[in-house]
Structure 1
Amino acid sequence: MQDRDFKSKFIINKVVTLNIKTMKKILFLTGDFTEDYETMVPFQMLEMVGYEVHTVCPDKKKGDIVKTAIHDFEGDQTYTEKPGHNFVLNYTFADVNLEDYQGLVIAGGRAPEYLRLNKDVLEIVKYFFTEDKPVAAICHGIQILTAANVVKGRKLTAYPAVGPEVTLAGGEFQSIPADGVFVDGNLVTSPAWPAHPSFIREFLKIMGAKIKI
């Protein structure tokens, strides 16, 4: 995609420049009872800036749905969980060719609990780390990273309840606010959906996108 300048005819003193050197593809791992925001919002944000995002789930194909769950913080000792939207997958898991993708995003919620048991999911994660390609994981999505044994010696964050798993897997857990982000090389992690603005901003940086306002 060529560099483009957008000038608003209503606000003439503001120029937005978007620079994505080539059309890049992102692989987006999700599954049933993924967190609603953590799937829909990053997907829409990445498509909005021009990436081709393939959303996939093991044993599902293009046009299938994953059910989502809404996790909220309402003053209890842990988050609440409510039914979310149905999210339509736009790509077939079995058709994924890993060499086609420049980055990987892993959503949180309940889905990682079972996705981490799938050997193909773990192989996908290992591929991106072996090739040193950008990876972004949020909340419980980090459970897939620990299961894939790719966090040893790395600094990362996650939902606090996942912290012990990070430590047991050899990672250095970083305790940060829910709206924070932690970057270690090509790995971007955040604790939960309140971090979406910083989470996606840092992922875009390591993907090579330049957005200037």
Structure 2
Amino acid sequence: MAAKQVLVIVGDASETIDTMYPYYRLIEAGFQPVVAAPEKRRYQMVLHEIKPGWTITKEWEGYSIEADIAFKDVNPSDYVGIFFSGGRAPEYIRYDEDLVRITKYFFAENKPIASVCHGVEIPAYADCVRGRKMATVPKCQFDLEICGGTFVNEPCVIDGNLVSGRTYHDSGHFVAPWIELLLQAAG
């Protein structure tokens, strides 16, 4: 039997640890992560950290990742769940009409969804956070709240089918509950 597929949403400047920790945890749990992006090509990820003494995020080049599929080619019904990675990519890719279509599908179908850091910008833009509680990095609190969501400053926030964390530092808190939802959905 083939592994159940889960979408991992990325673009250039997706955060490396935000992306890779859930990617490998999906494989460990018996799922097939499918990297989706604006185009089917290699994407450059980054590392983000607020260094001691800094008040803003410093960015370094991280690993790269190959997209398995372009947003336009995604049939969301082929996937058991979706993950919105963080980094700067969501700020740019959220305007992609096919990504909006995909995002709306997962929320409408109540499938397992996870988001970390700036990943919130995608469901917020797609008008899917209204009335939902989510964790995100504090600098994205405005994006969440202006779109009708409620910011919760915790390492793991579970609101029905939606699991979220603030940054990759929270991965050990929010990824396992999301995978549990995926396991339940996969039957």
Counterpart CA distance in 2 for 1:46 and 1:133 is 15
Give unmatched runs, 5+ long, in structure 1: 2-21
Aligned length: 183
Return the letter of the residue paired with 1:163.
Answer: Q
TM-score by length of 2: 0.92
Give the equivalent residue in structure 2 for 1:81.
Answer: 59
Residues 5-154 of structure 1 correspond to what in structure 2 (within 5 A)? 23-58=3-38, 60-61=39-40, 64-75=41-52, 76-154=54-132
SS in 2 for 1:34: coil
Give the equivalent residue in structure 1 for 2:176.
Answer: 201
Does structure 2 conserve the Cα–Cα contact (< 8 Å) formed by 1:143 and 1:162?
Answer: yes
Give the equivalent residue in structure 2 for 1:158.
Answer: 136
Counterpart CA distance in 1 for 2:4 and 2:176 is 16
Once the two structures are superposed, residues 55-113 of structure 1 have per-residue CA deviations (whole angstroms, 9 ceiling, x without a partner) of 0101x22xx21001100131211221111111122334443221111100010001001
Return the letter of the residue paired with 1:202.
Answer: P
Q: CA RMSD in A?
A: 1.4
Counterpart CA distance in 1 for 2:149 and 2:67 is 32
TM-score by length of 1: 0.82
Once the two structures are superposed, residues 33-55 of structure 1 have per-residue CA deviations (whole angstroms, 9 ceiling, x without a partner) of 11111112211111122101110
Does structure 1 conserve the Cα–Cα contact (< 8 Å) formed by 2:74 and 2:102?
Answer: no
| Structure 2 residue 155 is matched with structure 1 residue 184 | no
Looking at CA atoms only, which structure, 1 or 2, has the larger radius of gyration? Answer: 1
Counterpart CA distance in 2 for 1:175 and 1:78 is 18
Q: How many percent of aligned residue pairs carry the same amino acid? A: 33
Counterpart CA distance in 2 for 1:83 and 1:208 is 33
Return the letter of the residue paired with 1:182.
Answer: V
Does structure 2 conserve the Cα–Cα contact (< 8 Å) formed by 1:40 and 1:87?
Answer: no
Does structure 1 conserve the Cα–Cα contact (< 8 Å) formed by 2:133 and 2:152?
Answer: yes
Moved runs in structure 1, 4+ residues, more than 6 A? Answer: none
